[in-house]
Amino acid sequence: MTGASDDQTSVRFASDVSPLVIRTWHLDQVRPFLEHPDSSGPPMVARHYSAVSRHADRRLWEQLGLQYGILELAAGLLGREWVTFPAHLHLGPRRTPFAAIIEIMQGSAWVLLQKVDSFDRLHTAARLRLEAGERAILPPGHIHAVMNVGSIPLVVAEAHAADTIGDFESVARHRGAGYYGSPEGLRPNPHYRAHPRVKELSNAVMAPPDTGGRDLYRALLEWPERFRFLHPY
């Protein structure tokens, strides 16, 4: 349904597919999340396409209460850091933590997962390494940051409950996630009070339900009962 364009600056959609909202994140908008706010890097860091759907499927997505989106992340570095989509937490009504699923459509990614206690201490931290074609569940209550660790733009499909919002504010006040990622590895963010050892997660541990070879978009529409965990109520 989608793919990265040859000029590596945008995602192309078929004529019968469209997103409802497109948001572009420029370098100045992600500076509050960087280790060094004055870092240089790609002027366009990310582009997020929300509520992507074939026109014929739009009503079905609404009935299921689910939303499918596409995230494109530029390649390169922001100063010393990998280009990273700002860490955030998925919340639903009454600030209920919600889960999500991601699928790597192009490129290589590190996904950093973390939980923070009430005293600004990192309670847990984990890293998941994903390649094109691989998927993972982002569990509820976990702040997550997606890093492009490859040489081409990273394209990620995501799915979650339609009434999910992204909470970025609690992470911005710590200047990003608990660890900054770079070609040299992970570095602790000193704006947190404690830094547990980062656990390496396997794809098998975080894998979503089997979809019989179907892509995430089609699996969600054909077997919504397998993804009920995206609705915590």
Three-class secondary structure assignment of 125-153 = EEEEEEECCCEEEECCCCEEEEEECCCCC
Q: Which residue has better confidence, 76 or 193? A: 76
Question: Distance (Å, rounded) from C-alpha 136 to C-alpha 203?
Answer: 7
pLDDT band, residue 4 (cuts 50/70/90): very low
In a domain, 82, yes or no: yes
Q: Flag whether 121 is in a domain.
A: yes
**4, 13 Cβ separation under 8 angstroms:** no
Question: Residue 49 carries which side chain, given as an amino acid letter?
Answer: Y
Q: Which domain holds residue 64?
A: 19-230
The domain tally of the chain equals: 1
Mean pLDDT over 90-105 rounds to 91
Q: How many CB atoms lie within 10 A of CB 151?
A: 9
Q: Mean pLDDT, to the nearest integer, of 212-227?
A: 92
β-pair partners for 2: 13
213: Cβ–Cβ under 8 A, 6 or more apart, which residues? none
Asked if the structure places residue 151 within a domain, the reply is yes
Q: Is residue 8 included in any domain, yes or no?
A: no
Q: Is residue 201 predicted with pLDDT exceeding 80? A: yes
Quick one: pLDDT band at residue 106, thresholds 50, 70, 90?
A: very high
- For tokens 């979809």, name the residue: 211
And the tokens for 28?
A: 């100045």
What CATH number corresponds to the domain at position 62? 2.60.120.10
Please name which of 25, 39, 29, 24 lies closest in space to residue 180, comparing C-alpha atoms. 39
pLDDT per position as a tens digit, 41-93: 999 999 999 999 999 999 999 999 999 999 999 999 999 999 999 999 999 88
Tell me, yes or no, whether 83 lies in a domain.
yes
Kindly state the tokens that stand for 209.
């339900």
Percent of the chain with pLDDT over 70: 95
Residue 3 lies in a domain: no
Return the residue matching tokens 């919002």.
165
Residue 8 pLDDT > 60: no
DSSP result, 16-66: TEE-SEEEEEEHHHHGGGSSSTT----SEEEEEEES-EEGGGHHHHHHHTE
Of the listed ranges 18-22, 38-42, 99-103, 200-204, the least confidently predicted one is 200-204
| Mean model confidence pLDDT for the chain | 91
Residue count of the chain? 233
- pTM of the predicted protein model: 0.92
145, 177 contact by CB (below 8 A): yes
| Residue at 6 is within a domain | no
| Residues 140, 144, 149: CA angle, nearest 5 degrees | 145
In this predicted structure, which of 40-44, 119-123, 158-162, 213-217 has the lowest mean pLDDT?
119-123
* pLDDT at residue 5 in the model: 38
State whether residue 15 is helix, strand or coil: coil
The Cα-based distances of 149 to 11, 106, 158 in angstroms read 19, 12, 18
pLDDT of residue 7: 41
DSSP 8-state secondary structure symbol assigned to residue 198: P
Is 4 among the domain residues? no
